Chain A
Amino acid sequence: MKRKFFQIFKEPEIFSTPKEQEELFELWEKLDGLEVQNKSKYHLTKFGSPGFAKIANIAALILLSIVLGILTGKWMYEQKPEKELITGLNADFSVTRIRSVQSIEEKDLEKQEVVTALLHVLNTDVNENVRLATLGVLNPLIKDDRVRTEMIKSIANQPSTLVQVNILRSIVLQTSDGDFEDLKFLLDEKQIASMTKVRIQKLISS
């Protein structure tokens, strides 16, 4: 407001006579008198005033949108365990990779891509503990023929005897019919430890 009147005042061709200028000063004084700066402060800060209510509304809406954003983000991540798995498996620390594998829930195992990712981890992760944690998550799926076959193949890929015997134990515990013929080819695999081979031999012959 002040700027506007100041600009008008600065235009002498409009208010050229002293009287007009004096009238303008008076008008300006009156308008200055109408400036309600104190009222503005009152408007914005006093609890219960309309201004306060307006700010509180905006703040509440922003807060609500942040909460909604967080909940949406959480929901989106929960819907994509395979993405989380892949992200977590790039971690340098093996504990982070173990956490990532263990974050897979039973309902997520219905997704083929999750099972494929877990089998990949079982075969390739450099850390024995990550592979054993993965075995624990895959355990309920061994009754599935495809998973069983992949896990038997995985025994041949394992450089660690500990992982070999633990996969074998999981397979044995999940085999109700006592048929272990599908393990036979492992006896010819060079990487299989003698301890594992002795157990396979016993399973086949019993």
Chain B
Amino acid sequence: MKLKNFYLMVSFMAALMINPMVVLAQSSVSLQLYNAVVSIEETEEIQQPEYQYSLFNGFEMEEKFDRSAKIEIQKNGKNLDIKDNGEREFVWITLRVPPKTNLKIEITRDGKIQAKNISGDLDIQVFNGEIDLESIFGGLSLISVRDTEISLDQSNIESIRSPIFISTYSGKVESKFNPKSNFNLLLSTEMGEIKSNYEIKIQEDTSSPFEVKSTSGTDIQYPQFVEHSVNGGGAMVSFRTILGDISVVK
């Protein structure tokens, strides 16, 4: 085989193999905690996730910045796993993550999560809680098993490119989007209310066993659901709840 042909074959095969399986090494953080207050900050100043935490057992707060018997921490390069060992204390944790870090947060009881300007994916599961998210550029999957108040402010993002899925049992989902953003909106609440200043049509569900109820003089029918293309459609934005209220404003 001629050398030139060999080079061609090698480069062709190399290109074939690396595409589209090219996966740039991303950081990832996994938290599995019982009760937690989590604050997440993304910064370009660091290459690997960093953390600080403190524990509160109901009587005193103890500052800890290193390995603890009560918290299991595994740090492997760009990956950080933090678990509590069921001591059932509150953990306050502050995470600093590099851009494009994927975050998975499971809080089995009460959780308060605050995150802003996140470019990686966020995968959140809480039981009860309060979640305050702003400018989530990556994808979002959020599940709340019980009563949770969720605030999602995407008003600084003109182009929503990743899916946003929020499912809750009860509580509130309040969201704000940039008027220029395009996405497919899917909302449903079985026994709550949908409010929006988008021109959406709340559709009827013929399987509804529930009667019309009156709130502030306005009759509304529930369950309520909405399927609407905002500015021509795009990534899926899905908010679904059983008992909760949903608000979507621009």
| Residues of A near any B CB (own CB < 8 A) | 58, 61-62, 65-70, 72-74, 77, 92-96, 98-99, 102, 127-130, 132-133, 136, 160-162, 165-166, 168-169, 172, 195, 198-203, 206
A-chain residues with CB within 8 Å of residue B12 when the two chains form the complex: 65-66, 68-69
Q: How far is the CB of B137 from the nearest CB of chain A, in Å?
A: 12
Tally of contact residues, B, Cβ under 8 A: 47
Q: Total number of A-B contacts with CB less than 8 angstroms?
A: 129
Given contacts A93-B121, A95-B162, A172-B207, 16 further A-B contacts (CB under 8 A): A66-B14, A68-B12, A68-B15, A70-B16, A73-B17, A73-B20, A93-B102, A95-B102, A95-B138, A95-B139, A129-B142, A129-B166, A129-B167, A130-B141, A136-B238, A165-B190
A-chain residues with CB within 8 Å of residue B201 when the two chains form the complex: none
Within the assembled complex, what's the spacing in Å between the Cα atoms of A66 and B242? 52
Contact with A along B165-183 (1 / 0, CB 8 A): 1110100000000000000
> When the two chains form their complex, are residues A127 and B141 in contact, meaning their CB atoms are under 8 A apart?
yes
A102-B8 in contact given A136-B186, A199-B209 (Cβ < 8 Å): no
Q: Which residue from chain B places its CB closest to the CB of A160 in the assembled complex?
A: B167
Within the assembled complex, what's the spacing in Å between the Cα atoms of A95 and B119? 13
* B98 at the A interface (CB under 8 A): no
> When the two chains form their complex, are residues B4 and A61 in contact, meaning their CB atoms are under 8 A apart?
yes
Q: How far is the CB of A158 from the nearest CB of chain B, in Å?
A: 12
* B192 at the A interface (CB under 8 A): no
B-chain residues with CB within 8 Å of residue A203 when the two chains form the complex: 206-207
Q: How far is the CB of A126 from the nearest CB of chain B, in Å?
A: 10
Q: Which residue from chain B places its CB closest to the CB of A203 in the assembled complex?
A: B207
